[in-house]
Amino acid sequence: MAAANEVSSAVLEENGASITGDFSSTTVPGLYRLDSSTGHLLRRALQRHQALFQESAVGTGLTPPQFAALTKLAELRRVTQNRLGRLVAMDPATAQGVMKRLALRGLLRTEKDPMDRRTVVLAITLEGELLVQQARQAGQRANQRLMQDLNAAEQAMLLALLRRITD
């Protein structure tokens, strides 16, 4: 924990912020600065990761949301569309569109739950399995490229903090 605190302090000092979370301008106290906004920086990091993923995943034809859904489906094998959508942080309308496109490509199959005909159950196909193996490598390359300027402790801290604020 001491090493993590040292890394935290060093990162904060390097970026002109204090340990108390003061990310405001030093010239005008309390001024909201976009370049110090957590939401803005997270959006920029997401955009960068998506671009890196698209470069790495050329040939898979998967978008980041499709990759997330197919990867989670490969882990679970069989799951309802509603649950899969929640697990990969998609609203129901987005999940429905993503799953439809994956099914049209033959990467997953859909069936109605015999106990509740309103419920759609998804299962990954062999084609989906093969593609997700290739796409996982692309995802790993994108992650590595995104975090290449961070040392191992900083990478672990970033992941831990992101999990903490998204749970």
- Pairwise CA distance, residues 121 & 129, whole Å: 17
Please state, in angstroms and as integers, the Cα–Cα distance from residue 102 to each residue in 52, 96, 117, 147, following that order.
Answer: 22, 10, 21, 29
The predicted structure's pLDDT at residue 114:
82
The predicted structure's pLDDT at residue 19:
45
Considering the chain, what is the average pLDDT of its residues?
85
User: In the chain, what percentage of residues exceed pLDDT 70?
Assistant: 83
Instruction: Map residue 121 onto helix, strand or coil.
Output: strand
Judged against a pLDDT cut of 70, whether residue 62 lies above it is answered with: yes
The neighbouring-strand residues paired with 108 are 124
Exposure string over 85-114, b if 16+ CB within 10 A, otherwise e: bebbebeeeebeebbebbbebebbeeeeee
The neighbouring-strand residues paired with 27 are none
Q: Where are the domains of the chain?
A: 60-166
The predicted structure's pLDDT at residue 17:
52
The H or E element spanning position 112 is: strand 108-113
Q: Region 112-125: what's the mean pLDDT? A: 88
Judged against a pLDDT cut of 90, whether residue 91 lies above it is answered with: yes
The tens digit of pLDDT for each residue in 5-18 reads 555 555 555 555 54
The neighbouring-strand residues paired with 120 are 112
Q: Region 140-154: what's the mean pLDDT? A: 94
Please report where in the chains the tokens 């859909």 appear, as a residue: 110
Judge whether 11 and 149 are in contact, CB under 8 Å. Answer: no
The predicted structure's pLDDT at residue 18:
45
Judged against a pLDDT cut of 70, whether residue 112 lies above it is answered with: yes
Question: 12-21, 55-64, 89-98 — which is least confidently predicted?
Answer: 12-21
The predicted structure's pLDDT at residue 115:
84
Residue scoring higher pLDDT (19 or 101)? 101
The tens digit of pLDDT for each residue in 16-59 reads 554 445 454 455 667 788 888 888 999 999 999 999 988 988 88
**Tokens for 132?**
């997700």
Task: Give the DSSP letter string of 39-92.
Answer: HHHHHHHHHHHHHHHHHHTTTT---HHHHHHHHHHHHHSEEEHHHHHHHTT--H
Domain 60-166 has CATH 1.10.10.10: yes
